[in-house]
Structures are given as structure tokens and as C-alpha cells.
Structure 1
Amino acid sequence: MKRSLEQRLYEGTVIVGEGYLFELERRGYLQAGSFVPEVALEHPDVLKQTYRDYMNAGSDVVLAFTYNAHREKMRIIGKEDQLEPLNRNAIRLAKEVAKEHPTEEALVAGNISNTNIFDPEDPASKDTVRNMFAEMISWCKEEGVDFINGETFYYYEEALIALEEIQKQDLPAVITFAMMGENILRDGYTVEEGSRLLSEKGALVVGMNCFRGPNTMQPYLEKIRENVGGYVAGLPIPYRTSEEHPTFFNLPDGGCSCHLPLETTFPTALDPLYHNRYELAEWAKQAKDIGLNYIGLCCGASPAMLRAVAEAVGVNTINSKYSPDMEKHFLFGQDETLKNHNVAYRTKA
């Protein structure tokens, strides 16, 4: 039988692959800027392969790609009539891929996220947000997801609304915050306070995702772990954020010699600012050591990066057979059958 999310968390670390948004833009099937997952309808085969790539790289969860597939985003691009079909198809594709796992069927998570219209001073916006979440979660329930991932919230109260609507459908909830550069949630809560409150109100997992790389997320993950008795999640972006530039929204260009068409490197000129997979693996070890239970990567992550994270915490992934092994490389290998004149040349290459 397929174990539930709670069973897997109790028994060990759960690996979660996110980052579809940037990955599908990188593959050429999603528009940067609007960042709406129309790929679920326009190129379902591409989305299935992306799901598959992350699952094979170690993800225990196939996260239905409905990030930004809410009514407000669909209104902006003039496609509200496609809202429900897009959501349902993204979930159905995720379920198909989850069944392909060779040892244990992967979990399937429904996905809701920041709406960008929540306003703590506007009661009407809160009602709108609640209704948006309610309809998406109802489709998730009808399609038979295992839990709901509510992510990238920078208001505590919006995250709370998400949790309340998830609980109305009697589904487990993972709720994660994405903190802006002020190092506090936008309605004044610290991230550890918001996480503690959501955990006490019944969220199965709380924590952080997106916006911040390991360097600027880890200190807050430690605070969350100290303040939360339940399960804690950490899913940073794979970029070199710093104390001076704590999020990827304002990272400097890293020496780019060309003219950038946008004011910042975000979102299409971040390439020189990646952590390598070994740095991400070191972060994953630190995350496990402090007691994080739900570990992964967010926007910008590739399957190879996720595999390195999974292997760092002791997971042998489906595609670990393709992990780097330089033993037979013509310059850097140690295999005794390699040509000596090539091996001797390695320092000059």
C-alpha cells in the first residue's frame, strides 16, 4: 500500500521536487512574466515528462503544477474559462506519473499559492482569496490528491485562510512561507511565529519555500525548527542569495557584459548566480541535521540538483545510476585501461 505523507514523515525524510515554473520556462513551454502553467493543457506530454524527471530524481511527491493557476492569474491572461480544466488536468497527469514509481507509488499533492491580491486592509480581498482557494481545493478533493501544498505565502493571514479551506475538505496541509527582503512577513508576523501558529492550528507541515537561497533561508529554518513541535519544511531556491541581497528579486548581475532588458536579473538572467549541486547537497545535510523533515528545492532547481539533495540525505533515487562517476573519463578517470597520454595531459587541458 502507498504510505501517506504523515507515515513517510514519521519514518524519515520526505524529498520534494518543486521548481517546475522555471524549469518549464527553461525548456521553452512557459512564459516568464505571467508565469501561468498553461502547459497542463497545451503540452501535457511535456508536463508529464517534467513530473517524471523530478520523481526519478528522488521526489516522493508529484506536485500538481497549478501554481499560479488561480482565478486572478487566469483573469489577467484572459483565460478564466480554462481555469477548471487546467487544474484538473494538471492533477490527473500527476496521478498518472505517480503510479509509474517502480517501488512505491509517489504521493500526489494539490497546489495552491499566493494570490497577489490579498490585502490585510481590505475585507473584500480576503473573501475573494477564500473563494479562490475553496474552488481549487474542491477540485483537488474530487480528483483524489493525497494532500494540499499551500506555498509561497508572504502574509500570515492569507496562509491561514489557505489552511482553513484545506481543513474544510479534510485533507492534510503543507503550508510554507516565502519571505521578502524585510525578513518578516508582510503583515508583521515573524516567520517562526507564523509557522508555529499554523502548526498549532493543524497544519501537518510548516516552513519556507522559494524567494531565498540556502544562505538566507537556513537561519530562519533554524528558528522555525526551534519554535515548532511538528514537521518542518525547507525548499530554497538554488541561487546565491546573501545578507545584502536576501531574495532572488534583486540579485546583482554577477558580471554580465550585456544589456539586461529588465531592471534586475530576475527572472531570466539568473544563470550565473546558481549554487552548484555540491553546495546544495551540503545545505541538505545541514537541513536534515537540524531536524527538517520535508526537504527539497524550489524555483530554478533542476532534476540533477534535486538528486544531489536526495542523495545527500541518504536517498538512493531511481536515477542515481546516472549520478556522476568520473572513473572512466578520458582525462580525469582512474581506470587503468585509459590512455596514459590523455591522463597525463589533464593538468594542461
Structure 2
Amino acid sequence: MNKLQKLLDERGILLADGATGTNLIPMGLDSGQAPEAWNFDHIDRIETLHQSFIDAGSDILVTNSFGGTARRLHLHQLDDRVVEVNEAAATIAGNLVAKSGREIVVAGSVGPTGDLLFPLGELTYEGAVEAFIEQMTGLKKGGADVAWIETMSSPEEIDAAIEAANEVGLDYVVTASFDTAGKTMMGLSPADFGDTMSAKDPKPLAFGSNCGVGASDLLVAAIDLVAHSGGVPVVAKANAGIPKIAGDKVVYSGSPELMGDYAKLAMNLGVSIIGGCCGNSPAHVKAMADAVRTHNGGDAPTAEDIIETLGPLVSPKSEKTTDRSSRRRRRS
């Protein structure tokens, strides 16, 4: 049995980690620099970040390999080292897990290629599958427990990544980013995503949403994700509020306390894997860990409950984008 499935069966709720990129920037990552290069150049800093999330209570570590396909690494002259880059990312996380004395999942981060698939762009479906296979080969070689396919918006690219995971022999998780009026940039709705993922064979170990435009928006999307999950565990990995410019820095509006409230609402919705994306520091993850550990449960929140607690939607959904069963739940 996959370690992620085993821990879900044992614990019911798992805590993922926080952000990678927004936490590496204060550690010296320059604009335009590939975070994946630090798997060679600054291993100690990647270890420090992973260890901070272990100390905060994370059950899942997402590797530093989000841009790890050749399609993205060629921008940094690393496209001839794809397998090596991803193997290093998984190895760094895995070594820390081995020393932790705890069962922690190493989730091999697989982000979008950054290219549009044909006919909108030049990348073919077969080319996308090939790129993801190369990346996942490295992640598997480094000991990743699962392919963590994240921040996706295109159904075709999602399918290509899933096909690659099946080809390489990695169980997989998929998260999409619902950041355009309650849908992904390519028009995929949470309800349609849930229906599609729950019908896959083999099914994902979990699916859900990450990133996007704020914690409120993500949890409103999660209402439909849970309703259309078909019993597959749902992931919520929200940004820590909204980014704002403060001098020469980008700061996020969501406090650790707000993300603790977000974790409680996610649990009440029926979300099984809770974590943070952009802007979530180890302090935010620690607040979520405390919430998960101490929360006594409650009724599933409506969209209005979520907005009242976490703040207004940044990308409001029109009524017609919300699935009918969700509207019935909000009225009840």
C-alpha cells in the first residue's frame, strides 16, 4: 500500500506543508532564478525549508521540483539534467524524512510545463507526456512516494501528467488552480474536475485544489470538489491570503491565525489533506497543525460561512458556475 494511502487510512486527516518559492525568496532566491538549481547549489537551504515544515508538523513534504520538466528547465540551461534535478529534489526530502523518526510522505512536485498544448500552442499531448515521464523518472529514482501533480489548469495537461505517472509507476495526486471566476484558466470547474478525477482508472490517491487567489476562493471551490469526489480524498492547499507589495517585498494578507481557521473550515467540509501554498510560512503550517490536532468538528460551512470567516472572494463566482447541489446545501 502506498504510504500516503496508509497514513490517510490511519489518521483520516493529513497536514501538507507550506510554500516553496515564497519561502526561498527571503533565503536569497533571485527573481528569474530556478528554485530547482538549489537542489545542487544550496542543498542546505532546501533542507532548512523542509525541516522547518517537518518541525511544524507536516505529514507531507512537497519536493523542490515544481518546474522540473525540460520544457521549463531549458530556460535555465538545466534541460540536460532533468532526471538529476528531480532525483536530487526527492533525495533531499527523503533523507530528512528518514532522520525525522516519523512517517512522512515525500510528494514529488510536478507543475505545468508552462506551454500551451496544441492547437492553442506548439506542445503536443505526446510531447507533454514525454516531458512528464522524464521528470517523474527522476522523482521515482530519488524515492518519491507519489507524483504530486499541482497547479494545473488544462484538462489535457492533467491527462498527460497522469498518463506519465501511470507509465513510470508512481501513484498520483492532482490539484488544480481555480483562479478565474471559480474555474481554472482553461475553464475547468471544480464539479467537472471532481467528476473526471473520480472516474479515472487507476484513481488518484487524492485530488483537489492549490494556489489560486486566496483561502476563501479555494474553500468555496472545495464545496463542489467534495460533493463530486466519489469518495476520493480531497486536497486543499490554499495561499495565505492575497499578495500585496510592501516596499520591495511581497507579503501575504493571511495570518497564521487565519490559516488555522481555514484548516478548521476545511476539516468541516470533509477535506482530507490540508496545507498551504504561496505565502504560507512554517508559522502558518504550525497554526494549521494546531487546528487539525485540537478541532472538535462542526457543520459543513456554506460559501457565506467561509466568506464571513476568511474574507471576501477575490474572483467571485457567478451563480451559474456553482453546481446545483452546492446551491441547495448553502440554502439549507
So what's the TM-score if we normalise by structure 1? 0.77
Query: Which residue identity lines up with residue 207 of structure 1 in the other structure?
Result: G
Report the counterpart of residue 302 of structure 2 in structure 1: none
Letter in 1 for 2:218: M
Letter in 1 for 2:105: L
Q: Distance in 1 between matches of 2:103 and 2:207?
A: 24
5+ residue gaps in structure 2?
296-332
Which residue in the other structure is 1:231 paired with? Answer: 233
Aligned to 1:321: none
Larger CA Rg, structure 1 vs 2? 1
Secondary structure of the 1:118 match is coil
Residues 178 and 221 in structure 2, CA contact (< 8 A), matched pair in contact too = no
| AA at the equivalent of 2:131 | M
Equivalent in the alignment of 1:79 = 78
1:228-277 C-alpha deviation (Å, 9 max, x unpaired): 1210000001023xxxxxxx5xx6x5xx6x6xxxxxxxxx7431x42111
Matches within 5 A, 1:117-266: 117-121=115-119, 122=121, 124-201=123-200, 202-229=203-230, 230-240=232-242, 253=245
8 Å contact from structure 2 (residues 82, 134) kept in 1: no
Q: Which amino acid aligns with 1:93?
A: I
- SS of 2:183's equivalent? coil
Residues of 2 paired with 1:169 and 1:84: CA distance? Answer: 13
Provide the rounded CA distance (Å) in 1 between the counterparts of 2:224 and 2:254: 23
Deviation at 1:78, TM superposition (A): 2.3
Q: Which residue pairs with 2:258 in the alignment?
A: 279
Segments of 5+ residues of structure 1 without an aligned counterpart are 241-247, 259-267, 317-349
**Contact 1:118/1:126 (8 A) holds in 2:** no
Label 1:292 to 1:31 Cα distance change in 2 as closer, same or farther (>3 A): same
Mapping for residues 90-109 of structure 1, pairs under 5 Å: 90-102=89-101, 104-109=102-107
Q: Percent identity?
A: 22
Question: Match for residue 23 of structure 1?
Answer: 23
Deviations 1:42-78 (A, max 9, x none): 0111111111111111111222210112212211122
Deviation at 1:98, TM superposition (A): 0.5
Q: Which residue of 2 aligns with 1:308?
A: 287
How far apart, CA to CA, are the structure 1 residues paired with 2:255 and 2:52? Answer: 19
Contact 2:69 2:134 (8 Å CA) reproduced: no
Query: Deviations for 1:165-187, whole angstroms, at most 9, x for unmatched residues?
Result: 11223322110001232432333
Match of 2:250 in 1: 270
Change (3 A) 1:75 1:52: same
